[in-house]
């Protein structure tokens, strides 16, 4: 039986070859390269590329979210995360995200996030 797998080599050097990936618009200033989506569309794994100054508004996590910063840096309401940082947001957590310098992250959403108006949480 053939195995189905996705192999990405040299991911910590992804910025050097990012233009070879078929990025898609995701949010203003943020592109996505989808890797995996479950049949029920709940779980997703993707690369996100933040342009310098890009932000994501406040959102809630109904499931776990894991972020591995591959290049650049990202920040949220809880801290600043340079390349090589793993961030795990637990269910029920919420934050807003920014990347003043730009970054590329590997992200895994257990469940889709819920966007909120900026002043609601």
The pLDDT tens digits for 68-83 are: 999 999 999 999 999 9
Q: Return the CATH fold of 44-121.
A: Jelly Rolls (2.60.120)
Amino acid 3: pLDDT: 64
Backbone angles phi, psi at 32, to 5 degrees: -130, 145
**CA distance to 2, 60, 73, per residue, from 54 (Å):** 40, 18, 11
Rounded percentage of the chain residues whose pLDDT exceeds 70: 94
Listed range (24-28, 43-47, 80-84, 115-119) with the worst mean pLDDT: 115-119
Cα–Cα distance between 27 and 91 in angstroms, integer? Answer: 22
Give the pLDDT band (50/70/90) at residue 116. Answer: confident
Mean pLDDT, residues 26-53 taken together: 90
Residue 121 has pLDDT above 50, yes or no: no
Start-to-end CA span in the chain (Å)? 49
Cα–Cα distance between 12 and 97 in angstroms, integer? Answer: 21
Listed range (3-7, 48-52, 54-58) with the worst mean pLDDT: 3-7
The pLDDT tens digits for 83-115 are: 999 999 999 999 999 999 999 999 999 998 898
| Mean residue pLDDT across the chain | 90
**CA distance to 63, 102, 109, per residue, from 92 (Å):** 7, 27, 13
């Amino acid at each position: 039986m053939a195995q189905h797998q996705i192999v990405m080599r040299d991911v910590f050097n992804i910025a050097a070859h990012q233009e070879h990936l078929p990025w898609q618009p995701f949010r203003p200033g943020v592109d996505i390269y989808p890797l995996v989506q479950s049949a029920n569309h709940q779980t997703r794994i993707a690369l996100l590329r933040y342009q310098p100054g890009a932000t994501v508004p406040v959102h809630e996590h109904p499931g776990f979210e894991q972020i591995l910063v591959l290049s650049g840096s990202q920040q949220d309401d809880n801290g600043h995360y340079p390349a090589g940082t793993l961030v795990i947001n637990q269910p029920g957590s919420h934050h807003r995200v920014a990347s003043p310098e730009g970054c590329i992250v590997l992200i895994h959403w257990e469940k889709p996030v819920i966007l909120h108006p900026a002043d609601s949480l």
